[in-house]
Structure 1
Amino acid sequence: MEKLTEKKLTKRDYLVVSSMLFGLFFGAGNLIFPLHLGQLAGANWVPATLGFLVTAVVLPLLSVLAVAAMHAEGVYDIGKPLGKWFAVLFMVLIHLTIGPLFGTPRTATVSFTTGVAPLLPKSMQTTGLLVFSALFFLAAFLLSYKEQHITSAIGKALNPVFLLLLFFLFFVGFSHPMGNAAGQATTAGYHTLGAGFFNGFLQGYNTMDALAGLAFGVTVVTAVRGLGLHRQSSVAKVTAKAGVLATSMIGLVYLFLIVLGAKSLANFKVSAEGGTAFNQLVTYYFGNAGHALLATLLTVTCLTTAVGLVAAFAQDFHKHFPVLSYVQWLALMSFASFLTANFGLATIISWSTPMLMFLYPFAMVLILLSVSGKWFNHDKTVYSFTVGFTTVPALLDMVSSFPPVVSQSAFGVACTNFEQSFLPFAAQGMAWVVPALVGLGLGLAVYKVRGRAAANATD
C-alpha cells in the first residue's frame, strides 16, 4: 500500500530540493575562497580550478551520493560500519567542526567582516560584531525552529534572492572585465600545473562542504520525506538527483568566481584573504553602493548555510543524545556559535585549518568506501584497515598546519620533519593518500582471502 500511495514528485519538487541543497552548501567560504584562489593562481587558474573542483564539488556530491547509497540519515550512519563508538565520535567531531567551533560562527563573521564592517567606524567594530552575530543567529534559530519549514525557508525564499544578486554581479563583471586572466602573474605556489592543482585541491577543504554534505544528510532526508516520500529507495533516488543538480550549479559559480579573481589582478594586488578580494571587486563595479549589495549578498548566503548547519546539528544530537529536545539542542548550538563568532574571523580560520587537515582524509576515505561498499559488502575489515592507515598521517598533517605556537614548537617541527622524510606527498599536505591506499589494499586482500576460506569450508 505504501508503494501505491507514495507521492510522485514533480520537476518543481526536484528543483526545490536542489535549491535547498545549493543553499545549504553555498555559504561564506564558497564565495571568498574561490575568488581568492583565482588571485593566487592568476594565469594558472585552470589547474587550480580543477583541483579545487575535486574537493569543493566532486567530493560534496559523493558525500550526498554516499548518504543515498547507505540509506543514511546522517553522518553517524556513514561511520557505523566501523562500530557505534567510532560512528558517534566521528559524528561529534564533524558537527563540532562545521558547527559551533568553526563553520557556523564563520558564516556570521565573514558576512560581517566583508559586508558590514566597512560601513562602520573602527571604534564600533567589536560592538557591531556582537550585535550583528546576535541577530544573525537569532534569525537562524527562528528559520530552523520548525524542521518541516527548512525546505521552504531555504529552497523557496532565501536561495532565489541570493542567486539573483550573485548572477547580477557576474553579468556586470564579465560584461566589463578588469583584464585578461591569462595574462596575470601567479604566486609562488601556483607556478607549475602540478602545484596549482594540489594547492587548489587543498583550498577546497576550506569550504567544508564534504563534511557538511555528510552532516546535512539528516536535514535532506527529513525534507524529502516531507514532500510525501517514505521508502528508502525513493528518498535515496531523489537525494542523488538533487545532489547532482545542486553541485553542478555550485561548480559553475566557482568557475565564474575563480576567473573573476584572476581578472581582478589587472587592478588589484593579491589580497590577504578572499573577503578583502570580494570587497575590492564589488567596490570597483558598484562604488559605495557596492558595500550595501555585498552586505546583503553575504548575509543571505551565509544565513542559508547557518540554518542548515544548526538544524543538522540539532537533529543529529537529539537523535543520539535525546536528553535534550531538538529545539533545546538548536538553541544551544545557536548560542555557542554566537559566542565563538565574537573571537573574530582571523582566529576562527587559523584554528579551523588543522581540524580540516585531520578530518578531511577520514571524510574522503569514508565517502569513497560508502559509495563503493557494495562490492565488498561494506565489510568492517576493509573499513578498519583503510581508516587505520589514514590516522597517523592525518594527525601529522594536523600538527603541521597548526598556528606557529604549535607547528613551530620542537614537537611540531619533529612531526613535520618525520612526515616529509618518510611519507610521499607530505609537502603537498596529502601524506595520507599512500597509507590509505595501502590500507585499502590490505583490507580488500583480507576480505578476499576470508571469503575464499569460507567458500572452501562450505564445499
Structure 2
Amino acid sequence: MNIERKELLVTSFALFSLFFGAGNLLLPPLLGYNAGENWLWVTLGFMITAVLIPIIGILAHAKLQGTMYDFGKKVSPWFSSIYCIIVYIISVAIPSPRTASATHEIAIHPAFGTDPLLTSAIYFALVLVFVLNRSKILNLIGKFLTPFIVIMLLAVIGIGLSSSSFSTGESTFGSPVVSGILEGYQTFDAIGAVVVGAVIIISLNFKNMKVSQFESKRKLIRQSGFIAGTGLFVIYAGLIAVGAYYGSQIEVNAELSTDMQRANLLRGISIAALGNFGNTVLSILISLACFTTAVGIVAGTADYFRGLFNKSNTAYILTAVIACMAGIGVGQMNFHDIIVIAYPVLLFIYPITIMLILLNVLPERMATPVVFRAVVIVTFIFSIPDVIGFVSPSDGLKSITDFIPLAKHSLGWVLPALLAFVITTLVQPKSKVA
C-alpha cells in the first residue's frame, strides 16, 4: 500500500509539473489584474480550458491507454496520423521553445545579460539529457523538481494574499468568462493532455501492483489526474487572485509589451511577498516550471515517432535531437512574439482537440465512429472563420459570423459541434436498425 501511495504521489507531481510551464505561470496574474472585480468569473472561464478539459484528457488516456493516435483513430486512420503529426510539430515549434524564451527573459537575461542563443542552447542541451534518460523522467520530475515548484508557488500566493489590501480595480474585460476561456488556450494544457498523458503511461512501472496491469494503470492515471488537476486549480486560482488583489499595489506600465507586463507584475508580486529574495525565487521557479514542460513535450514527441518506426531507439534519439534543435532556433524569439504566432494556430487545433478529448471519455455506444466523424468535421468547418477572422478580418467574413452564435467570441464552433453530436447520436440507431 505504501508503494502504491508513493507511486501515486510521484505520478501526480510529475503530471502537474509536465502541465505547468511558462504560460501557466505568467498568464494568470495579468489575467487577474485585468479582470479586477470580475476575477472570479475570469477564473471560471480559465479553469474550463486550462484545468477541466486537460484533466478529462488524462481520463481519456486512462481509458485508452495507448498513444495520441488512439484519440483520433475513430475518425479515420489517416486523420489521426495527420492530427498527431500536426500537434507534435506545433508542440515542438511553439510551447516547447516558449519555455526557453520565458526562462531567458525572466530568469537568465536580467541576472547575466546573456544572448538568447546561448540560453536556448544550454537549456535544450539539458532537456535532451533528461529525455535520453527516458526511464528516470517520472522520478526526477515527480520526486525532486515538482515539490520544490509547488512549495515556492504556494509561498508566493499565500504571503501575497495575506499581505494584500484585498482591493481590486475595474475589469477591462467585456465578457470575463469568455476572456478566461480564450486565455486558457494559451496554456496549451489541452494539447498538453494528449501529449504528456502518453508520456506518463509509457513511463509508469507497475511491477508492484497487485491488480491487472490495465486496471492498475487506469486507477493510477485517474487518481493522479484528479490530484494534478486539483493542484492546477489551486495554483491558477491563487495566481489570478494575487494578480487581482495584490496587483493594484504594483505599477504595471501599460506602454510595455504584454509579455513584459506579465513578467513585471509577477516579479513585483514575488518581491513584495518574499522581499529581495523574491526575485531569486521567481527566477528558479520560472526555470524549473518551464524545463519540466519542455522535457514532457520533447519526450512525448520522441515516443510517438519511435512508435511509428517499430519502437526504434534510433528514431527516438533522432526525434529528440531535432525537437531540441527546433527549440534552440525558435527559443531565441521573445515570449510575446511566440504567443502572437501561436494564437491563430490554437484557434484551429484547440477546438478539434477539445472535441476529441470529450468524445473519448464517453461510453462507446455514444461515441461511435459516425459521431466522431460528424463532430470533428463540423468543428473543423466552424473553426475556420475564427482563424481567418484573426489573421485577415473582413466585412464579408463578419457578415457571415454575425449569424453564427458565439462567433464574435471566437467560439463559433461550440454550438454546431454540440448539435452535430446530438443529431448523429439520435439518428444513428435508426440507421443501424435499417
Q: How far did 1:424 drift?
A: 0.7
Match of 2:158 among 171, 177, 193: 171
Task: Name 1:338's counterpart in structure 2.
Answer: 328
Paired amino acid for 1:184: G
Counterpart residue number, 2:143? 156
Contact 2:35 2:171 (C-alpha < 8 Å) held by counterparts: yes
Q: 1:111 aligns with which of 103, 126, 142?
A: 103
Alpha-carbon offset, residue 351 of structure 1:
0.6
Distance 2:351 2:84 in 1: 15
Aligned AA (2:290): C
The counterpart of 1:44, out of the listed 38, 44, 50, is: 38
- 1:153 corresponds to which letter in structure 2? L
| SS of equivalent to 1:180 | coil
Task: Note the C-alpha offset of 1:233.
Answer: 2.6
Residue of structure 1 aligned with 2:166, choices 177, 180, 184 = 180
Counterpart contact for 1:389–1:438, Cα < 8 Å: no
Structure 1 segments unaligned to the other structure (5+ residues): 1-6, 454-459
Specify the SS of the correspondent of 2:74. helix
Equivalent residue number for residue 145 of structure 1: 132
Aligned-partner SS, 2:73? helix
1:206-225 equivalences under 5 Å are 206-225=186-205
Q: Does 1:204 align with 2:190?
A: no
In the alignment, what sits opposite 1:251? 233
Match of 1:240 among 219, 222, 225: 222
Shift in alpha-carbon separation, 1:227–1:109, aligned structure 2, 3 A: farther
How many Å apart are 1:118 and its aligned residue? 2.5
Amino acid at match of 2:302: A
Task: Tell me the matched-pair count.
Answer: 424
Q: How does 1:23-422 map to 2 (within 5 A)?
A: 23-69=17-63, 71-97=64-90, 99-121=91-113, 124=114, 127=115, 129-177=116-164, 179-181=165-167, 183-187=168-172, 189-190=173-174, 195-225=175-205, 228=208, 231-263=213-245, 264-269=247-252, 272-273=258-259, 274-286=262-274, 288-321=276-309, 324-376=314-366, 378-402=367-391, 407=392, 412-414=393-395, 416-422=397-403
Q: Secondary structure of the residue that 1:144 maps to in structure 2? A: helix
Per-residue deviation, 1:421 = 2.0
Mark the CA change 1:227 to 1:401 in structure 2 (over 3 Å): closer, same or farther: farther
C-alpha contact (below 8 Å) 1:25/1:212 kept by paired residues: yes
Q: Sort the Cα spacing of 1:362 and 1:284 in 2 relative to 1 into closer, same or farther, 3 A.
A: same
Distance in 2, Cα, partners of 1:287 & 1:233 = 48
Q: Describe the shift of the 1:226–1:311 C-alpha distance in structure 2 as closer, same or farther (beyond 3 A).
A: farther
Q: What is the CA distance between 1:206 and its match in structure 2? A: 0.7
Residue 358 (structure 1) shift: 0.8
Q: Distance in 2 between matches of 1:227 and 1:146?
A: 20
- TM-score of the superposition, structure 2-length normalised? 0.92
1:433-444 matches, cutoff 5 A: 433-444=414-425
Kept in 1, the 8 Å contact 2:108–2:283? The answer is: yes
Corresponding residue SS for 1:207: coil
For residues 137 and 149 of structure 2, the distance between their equivalents in structure 1, rounded to whole angstroms, comes to: 16
Whole-Å separation in 2 of the counterparts to 1:256 and 1:48: 13
Compute the displacement of 1:280 (Å): 2.4
TM-score calculated relative to the size of structure 1: 0.88
**Shift, 1:416, TM fit:** 3.9
Deviations for 1:132-186, whole angstroms, at most 9, x for unmatched residues?
1111111111112122111111101111121222222223212321x324x4221
DSSP-derived class of the 1:310 partner: helix
- RMSD of aligned C-alpha atoms? 2.0
Q: Give the whole-Å Cα distance in 2 for the aligned partners of 1:67 and 1:171.
A: 33
Question: Counterparts of 1:416 and 1:109 in 2: how far apart (Å)?
Answer: 35
Q: Is the 8 A contact 1:72 1:78 kept in 2?
A: no
Shift in CA distance, 83/415, structure 1 to aligned 2, threshold 3 Å: farther
CA separation in 2, counterparts of 1:314 and 1:228? 27
How far apart in 2 are the matches of 1:131 and 1:439? 50
CA–CA separation in structure 1 for the residues paired with 2:269 and 2:207: 40
Partner of 1:3: none
Question: Is residue 14–residue 142 contact of structure 2 (8 Å, CA) maintained in 1?
Answer: yes
Superposed displacement of residue 374, structure 1: 2.3
Q: CA deviation at 1:38?
A: 0.3
Take 2:364 and 2:271, find their aligned partners in 1: how far apart are those partners?
Answer: 51
Retained in 1: the 8 A contact 2:135–2:203? Answer: yes
The 4+ residue runs of structure 1 with deviation greater than 6 A are none
**Contact 1:224/1:238 (<8 A) preserved:** no
Runs of at least 5 residues in structure 2 that lack an aligned partner in the other structure: none
